[in-house]
Structure formats: structure tokens, C-alpha cells
Structure 1
Amino acid sequence: MWLDESMQWRGTSSGKRGRSPTFSDAAIQFCLSIKCLFGQPLRQALGMVQSLLQLAKLDWPVPDFSTVCRRQKTLQVELSYQPSKSPLQLLVDSTGIQFLGEGEWKRKKHGAEYRREWRKVHLGIDAQTLEIRAIEVTSNAIGDAPMLPELLAQIAPEEPIESVCADGAYDTRGRLDAIAERQAMAVIPPRKNASHWKKSSPGSAQRNEAIRACKRLGRSIWKKWSGYHRRSLVETKMHCFKRLGERVTARTFERQVVELHVRVALLNRFSQIGRPQTVPLAAMA
């Protein structure tokens, strides 16, 4: 672990009325990252941050518990990623993170309690770099398909999207139209009893073509031909996401969203430093 001495640790003037913040957003995000990375309570994580600063011989002050807890509610987490050299191939799926109730072992052993709730995390990852490019956090009452337009909106309009791969839960007219408006190919298996749509919507042509291909070639061959099995990469990323914790520790929804965004920032950083960089060598004489 290393600390960049050029990082803006202290807060700067915002130009608004009132006292300027003592610590920058980068400092608050660093403290929350240490908490999330090592699975510690916030007070113990701040003590570890103080020890790291002392080892790095930096005279930076450490924010107290109340400051970090208050700033976490409105923190804008910086999500870094490396842009792909080719058009984006987006893989979409969702998973649940528990925040209220007992774990799965107690549910199987003694039965489920009445108060058990999850936060639903909707992810969109780049199939080439395996970095998370879009994230939305909702309650467990929200389905998968309604959040696809919000995930696509997080991708810059000038960045081309080649394909969007998702499971059959996203086989709805509104979701396919949203993909077609981004001029991307929808790799979504149609329902087994699916019927052709009228060509009044933008996404009907791709869906009708998928139905014809499934009837002519079979669903298994269509999945291999269309590259649908790449969707397993997002399942692997969700496993990595849950390795940072099976539940969220924050109490309010705003702080839970920030906590989950910090996880995404950590995973993207892991992907960046863990990916090998290949350099072509000149032909030897």
C-alpha cells in the first residue's frame, strides 16, 4: 500500500457561504476505502488510517468519526476506469446485498425472520477490461429491467456501445428500445413462447431476428453464436463484489449507496493494477 504525496488531502474553498471543509472528498473516500477493504468498523478504520499516515511520514490530520459519517451522506465517489480502444461491450446484471436481518445460515437452520431486506445492486461492466462502468442501487422491490436505461445513461453519449448483454429478465419493449436508441446490439434471449413484435418500436427488429434465429438454430446455438455466454463475466464480478462484504454496514440509504460505490472504486482499481500491460517487441535480427 502506498500513499500519493501529491493527493489533495485538505479541503479547498468552495466559494459558498460558510466554513470551508477541512478535508477533501479524496480524503474521506480514502478513509471509507480502508474501512471497506479491511472490513473494519469506522472508528478502527480511522485508527488504521492514522497509523498509515505515520508510516508514510505524512503530517496530514485524520478526520474524526463524526466528520466521516456526516460527509459520507453527500460524498461523490470518484470512479476511475480505463476506456476501451474498441466500442464498449456492456454486460448487465443485478445482485442483492443484505443490510437488515440474519444471514443465510440462520434462515436455513431456524427459519426466516420477518424483517429481512436487501439493497439491489445493478451493475454494468466492460467485457474487455472487466471494469464496472455503471452502477445503480435500489431497494429489493425494484426489478432488474427498469434500471437498464439508468445504467446506459451513465455511459457517455459520445462513447460508442457495440452490444448490451443481459438475461431474459430484460426482454421487454422499453429496455430493447433503450438499447436500440444507443445504436447497440441487444444480446438478450427472448422468452420461449415469445411472439414477433410489430415494427413500430426501435428494438423490435433485433428481437424478431433473435426469435427467428432461436427457432431455426435452437437456443443453445444462438447463445454461442451471439456471444451470450460472455455474461458469465458479470457473475464473476458480482462474486468479487461480495468478497468485500455480504452486507452493508451503513444505516441510511444515502450512506449505503456511497458505501457500495466505494466498493466499485476499489474493484476498478484492482482490475487496473492487476491487468498485464503488453508491449510489442521489435523483431530480433
Structure 2
Amino acid sequence: MPFKHNSSRRHRIGKMKVKVTNWSEYETGLRRRCSLTLWLTPEALVGWAAPRRKNRGGQPRYSDLAIESALTLGLVFGLRLRQAEGFLASLLQMMGLALAVPDHTTLSRRARTCRSPNRRPDRQGPPDGPVHVLVDSTGLQIYGAGQWLEEKHGAKSRRGWRKLHLALDADSGEIIAHTMTEQDTGDASQVGLLLDQIDGPIGRFTADGAYDGKPTYDAIIGHSADAAIVIPPRANAVEPNGEQPPGQRDEHVAVIIKDGRMKWQAPTGCGRRALVETAIGRYKSIIGRRLRARSFQAQQTEVAIGCAVLNRMLASATPKSVRRSSNVA
């Protein structure tokens, strides 16, 4: 991990070089990501239409599967709701399927109630043992006039953003849990909600200093009592002097005070949290930095579908790299 005090001489530090060992398989998967070959299973054809309600009221025409399919195609190919409607209609026509296509008004309305489940790709299957969870958050822009009004006319900016909280499997790189909140929500308050989406045990939990605090430690231990927690303590943290046995955070503070923060980072593997930052960059480069939906409920659906899309893309192509050894004369 590069440290800030090395920034002045970082140009002298050689860049780490890696070699992809499964390049042929990885290259094939990258091409398969952009394939337009689509198919519908018999179960999907049967479940395209919504089941009839037995109580009074209007009958829904499209199932959640149909709505999710249309929204997913629009999100992947960067289409608005009207364009997504036309794109799906043309695909079904070329496939020779007489299926009704949800119109853009229905997609906009149903997106507020439809929730895409955070499904793990079938090829991965359940984890063999405890998972190493990496947690971080980022901001996503929402519709608004932006900073231009404030700079040009002196008006108060209406730009807002949402917070996307992600929990990543460090070994597979998949998003195993996510939440979306308002911009003023604290990061540590979402740890419990993220852990509720993880069924298996947690072997290690790694996050940055924004998650430091007793509530975070209590939530993790309540989920998996044997989990190792790696969170950098605050700079003003002090060693406890009470009679209670020291916890994991107290041990971290003691080691940092004795050996320094840099020596603490290497053995704890704190640098692996950079993987979740890479996942955030992957989300913003593929899905986008800005939410297209206007309502908060529809934005939650958009984020859920975006995480499912990234997991599906990751399942089709994953590089396996090893670090090259440097030959020093």
C-alpha cells in the first residue's frame, strides 16, 4: 500500500507488474459480455405474465420478471424507458415470441415497487467457508440543476446525491450486499443492514476509518462471533485502562501506539479494502455515476439491478493474475 509520506519519491518506486494466467479464457469472456444473443427459458415464458389476483381491484398484466428484464436491458445499453420498450419489442419480434412488452409508463410506475434480488451467479454457488467482506460507500448523482446555477446566477444549487453502500466478497469480487440511502446518512449505520443480507458466516470484515466505533464491532460480532475485524482506529484513539479484557479494536490501538500505523497495516491486510474501491469504480464506469430514476424507490430498484448486472458480467470474465518477480542484478 502506498503511503502519503512517500509521495515525494514515489516516482522512484517501481510499479508492481502482474501477469494474467488465464488470458485466453478471460479474452473470450470479455467478448461474451457484449454478445446480443438472448434467450428465454420455458420458466421465463410461463412467468412473463403476472398471475391473476383473487381479490378485488385491477389485474396486473406483467410480472416482476418482465419489468426487471426491460429495466435491465435499458440499464446495460444506456437506454431511456421509451427506447428500452422499443428495444425489447424488436428483440421479441426477431425471436418470434408473441409476448406483450411493458410500455414506458408501466416501467416507470412499476420500478418504484419492483426489487431486483441480489442473486449470485449460478457458476459461483454458495461459499465453501467464511467470506472476507469488504465494505465501503460512494456517492451517486441524482437529477438536479447542479453547480452551474450557483456559479452563473448565484442561485442555490439543487444538486443532490445518494449514498451507495456496498459489501464485497474479497475472494470472488462479487457484490453480496448493498443499500442506498440519503446523502446525510452515516456509513456505520448501514453495517447491520448489509450484514442481514449475508447468509453465511463472516471470516474477516475490512473497512475504512469511517466505520470505526463500538456499534460496528457489536453488529459484526452479533452476526459472526469469530469474525476478525480490520478497521483503522481514529488518530486520537487511546489504549483502554479498564479491567475489562481488551477487544479487537483495543488490540489494534495498542499495536498502532507501539509500532506505528504503517507496521499495523501490513500484517492485518488492511490494504485489501482497495478491492471494494475498484468495484465502486467498476460500477461508475459501466453503470454510470448518475442515477436516471427520479423517485427514491425507483432509484433503489436501479441500484439493485446495477449490482446484479455487475455480478453477471464478473461471472462471464474474471482474470487470474500473479505478481511478476523482479530480477535485480
The answer as to whether partners of 2:136 and 2:276 remain within 8 angstroms in 1 is: yes
Q: 1:200 to 1:162 in 2, by over 3 A?
A: farther
The answer as to whether partners of 2:143 and 2:159 remain within 8 angstroms in 1 is: yes
Give the root-mean-square deviation of aligned CA atoms.
Answer: 2.5
Amino acid at match of 1:248: L
Shift of 1:56: 2.1
The answer as to whether partners of 2:146 and 2:157 remain within 8 angstroms in 1 is: no
Separation (CA, whole Å) in 2 of partners of 1:177 and 1:154: 17
Separation (CA, whole Å) in 1 of partners of 2:319 and 2:138: 28
Amino acid at match of 2:288: G
Separation (CA, whole Å) in 1 of partners of 2:79 and 2:70: 11
The answer as to whether partners of 1:171 and 1:190 remain within 8 angstroms in 2 is: yes
The answer as to whether partners of 2:149 and 2:157 remain within 8 angstroms in 1 is: no
Structure 2: gaps (5+ residues)? 1-35, 321-329
Alignment of 1:215-230 (within 5 A): 215-230=257-272
Q: Does 1:34 align with 2:73?
A: yes
Q: Does 1:234 align with 2:269?
A: no
Q: 1:15 to 1:206 in 2, by over 3 A?
A: farther
Separation (CA, whole Å) in 2 of partners of 1:12 and 1:132: 31
Correspondence for 1:179:
220
Q: 2:237 aligns with which of 169, 181, 194?
A: 194
SS at match of 1:100: coil
The answer as to whether partners of 2:48 and 2:62 remain within 8 angstroms in 1 is: yes
Separation (CA, whole Å) in 2 of partners of 1:89 and 1:108: 44
Q: Given the two structures, how large is their TM-score scaled by the length of structure 1?
A: 0.88
The answer as to whether partners of 1:102 and 1:113 remain within 8 angstroms in 2 is: no
Q: Which has the larger radius of gyration?
A: 2
Shift of 1:109: 7.9
Shift of 1:20: 3.8
Q: Does 1:59 align with 2:107?
A: no
Shift of 1:118: 0.2
Q: 1:96 aligns with which of 131, 139, 142?
A: 139
Q: 1:160 to 1:42 in 2, by over 3 A?
A: same
The answer as to whether partners of 1:84 and 1:128 remain within 8 angstroms in 2 is: no
Correspondence for 2:39:
3
User: What do residues 229-255 of structure 1 show as CA deviations (whole Å, max 9, x unaligned)?
Assistant: 110111111111112111111111111
SS at match of 1:92: strand
Q: 1:125 to 1:237 in 2, by over 3 A?
A: same
Shift of 1:113: 5.1
Shift of 1:148: 1.0
Separation (CA, whole Å) in 2 of partners of 1:224 and 1:103: 41
Alignment of 1:75-90 (within 5 A): 75-81=114-120, 82=124, 83-90=126-133
Correspondence for 1:50:
89
SS at match of 2:108: helix
Runs of 4+ residues deviating >4 angstroms: 106-113, 197-202
Q: 2:303 aligns with which of 260, 272, 275?
A: 260
Shift of 1:119: 0.7
Q: 1:237 to 1:192 in 2, by over 3 A?
A: same
- Structure number with the bigger relative contact order (C-alpha 8 A, sep ≥ 6) is 2
SS at match of 1:28: helix
Structure 1: gaps (5+ residues)? 278-285
Separation (CA, whole Å) in 1 of partners of 2:302 and 2:53: 24
Q: 1:53 to 1:205 in 2, by over 3 A?
A: same
